[in-house]
Amino acid sequence: MKPPPERTTPKKSPRSSRQQRVSSRYMRDRWEDFLSQDRRGMLMIEGVPVDHIINKYGTPIYVYVESEIRERAQRFKKTFGPEIGFQFAVKCNSNLEILRILREEGFELDCSSVGELILGLLADYKPKQLSLTNLYKNEQDLHFAVKIGVQSITADSLEDLEQIAQTAKKLKKHIDVAIRVNPMIEIGQYSTRGNKYGIPIGYIDRAIDLALKSPFVDLHGFHFFGGYVHETRVYKAVARVMVKLIKRCLDRGIRIKTLSLGGGFPAAVGDETAFPIEAMRDFTPWFHRLLERNGIVHPLRLIFEPGKSIVLNAGIGLTKVVSRKRLGLKKRMVVVDSSAYNFVPDALVQEGLHYDVLPASKMNAPRIHSLTIGGNTCDCWEIISRDLHMPKLRAGDLLAIMDVGAYAQVMASNFNTIKRAAIVLIHPDGTTKLIRRRDRYSEMFAPELDVLKLAGPNELERYNNLYRVNVDKYWRGKHGKKKNGKNGNGIR
């Protein structure tokens, strides 16, 4: 079967005569609206040459394209209709500015921890616009969520539900609870059997009974999340099971008010394909008919929790080649100033993942060989991408790792005690804004220095002082001023 096209909206035309179309050997449909190149063969994002971006902010750096994030959010709303609730999955990209943009687009938030609830509040969401869903929450997490009065807390197991009930009772505060259900469906290659999420449908009555018995728990809804969903028919199959369950509740006099079908909408990396969200255009009317057929006429809010499908393709990682090596007669590698661990962790986690890596400063150069991109940590398995057809590259050349707007920065670590990259947002008019700075050494060392201080303040005065003077400033002081007065790649 021919895969559906990735986009259904008309392409924007280049903004100025300086912009040229990116050669079709590199271009993919999903980047048409924001990628171009200049006459030098320099990749441009929203009409801005990438060398301008890195001269200002340094490498490695993530660039998020605001217009693409907004457009994807709007496509969801247009496809499903205004009455559907959208809760952006904070776990995939928790940047405050991105959360703010999605608030402006009318999204609420799906939070998986108290930390994410706090981020939601910092991004100016009201507590009633935040839901808390995860497999486990400790008492402190629940206390916080109940106290601020979130929209709902999702119970993932009987034990989880019991703990929610106890916390609500202790605080004497009613809380809307959704029960997470594993519908145990199998469709082609897709199956939720054995999934770690939710209570299997066969055991769900016990959870319902427990919720009804708990005086401070208001059983409000059901929730589903099924990982990566490649086919639209999965959502319909899940909805059928869930609506049957809602009907069974109604027969017992329980009115379920929300149904969340989670996220999991696909977003392509490399030459993967993903159905466009418009392929689900018939879902809302179909769902209403399903409710009617089951005699459910009371108001029921349908919720989706998209994550990567909103932001993945709107993120680009810019990194610099620092050296090149021959690994054998025909095997070549370039090393870059970023790594899978610190910059694109999915390269480690997802077997078979192949990022598109564009030669951002040499878009016009002939491609002459096959190349591996090695990251800059000392782990020998740590490769960013393999077998890329590339021009001749040397130190200083720029590369753009495409489709890194989700599950990249949030999952990146400080492995090798390397700072995680900064993030720049690029506005539709080509202006840029730093929305996260690079890590600081002082922050990276603080959790240990704090403990050491407690362990022996007198002996460790040396470290204490080091901590107090701010390690970053200390280094800068010893090694001269910032390069050109900018946040370059010097030691910071």
Ligand X SMILES: Cc1ncc(COP(=O)(O)O)c(C=O)c1O
Question: Any contact of residue 226 with ligand X (CB under 6 A)?
Answer: no
Shortest Cβ distance from residue 18 to ligand X (Å)? 36
> Across the strands, what pairs with 274?
none
Shortest Cβ distance from residue 225 to ligand X (Å)? 4
- Span of 72-80, 122-130, 256-264, 328-336 interacting with ligand X by CB under 6 A: 256-264
How many distinct helices (H) and strands (E) make up the chain? 14, 23
Question: Any contact of residue 220 with ligand X (CB under 6 A)?
Answer: no
Question: Any contact of residue 308 with ligand X (CB under 6 A)?
Answer: yes
Closest C-alpha among 409, 365, 413 to residue 390? 365
Task: Please provide the DSSP assignment of 20-68 as one string.
Answer: BPPPTTT--GGGTTTEEE-TTS-EEETTEEHHHHHHHH-SSEEEEEHHH
Question: Any contact of residue 181 with ligand X (CB under 6 A)?
Answer: no
Count of alpha carbons within 13 angstroms of residue 189, beta-carbon side? 5
Q: Judged by CB under 6 A, which of 120, 198, 262, 374 binds ligand X?
A: 262
Question: Any contact of residue 264 with ligand X (CB under 6 A)?
Answer: yes
Question: Any contact of residue 307 with ligand X (CB under 6 A)?
Answer: yes
Rounded to an integer, what distance in angstroms lies between the CA atom of residue 190 and that of residue 169? Answer: 39
Burial grade of 41 (CB within 10 A; 0-12, 13-18, 19 or more): middle
Shortest Cβ distance from residue 263 to ligand X (Å)? 3
Q: Judged by CB under 6 A, which of 107, 225, 287, 355 binds ligand X?
A: 225
- Span of 203-211, 305-313, 340-348, 395-403 interacting with ligand X by CB under 6 A: 305-313
Shortest Cβ distance from residue 485 to ligand X (Å)? 39
Looking at residue 58, its amino acid is G
Alpha-carbon distances of 348 from 81, 197, 339, 343, 408, rounded to whole Å: 38, 23, 10, 11, 11
Question: Where in 121-140 is the site for ligand X (CB under 6 A)?
Answer: 133
Rounded to an integer, what distance in angstroms lies between the CA atom of residue 58 and that of residue 51? Answer: 9
Q: Judged by CB under 6 A, which of 110, 382, 403, 439 binds ligand X?
A: 110
> Which CB sits closer to ligand X, 154 or 432?
154
Alpha-carbon distances of 490 from 145, 392, 486, rounded to whole Å: 42, 26, 9
> Which CB sits closer to ligand X, 308 or 362?
308
Residue in the structure block whose two tokens are 């029960």: 179
Shortest Cβ distance from residue 108 to ligand X (Å)? 12
Q: Judged by CB under 6 A, which of 105, 176, 305, 397 binds ligand X?
A: 305
Which residues make up the interface to ligand X (CB under 6 A)? 89, 91-92, 110, 133, 225, 262-265, 305-309
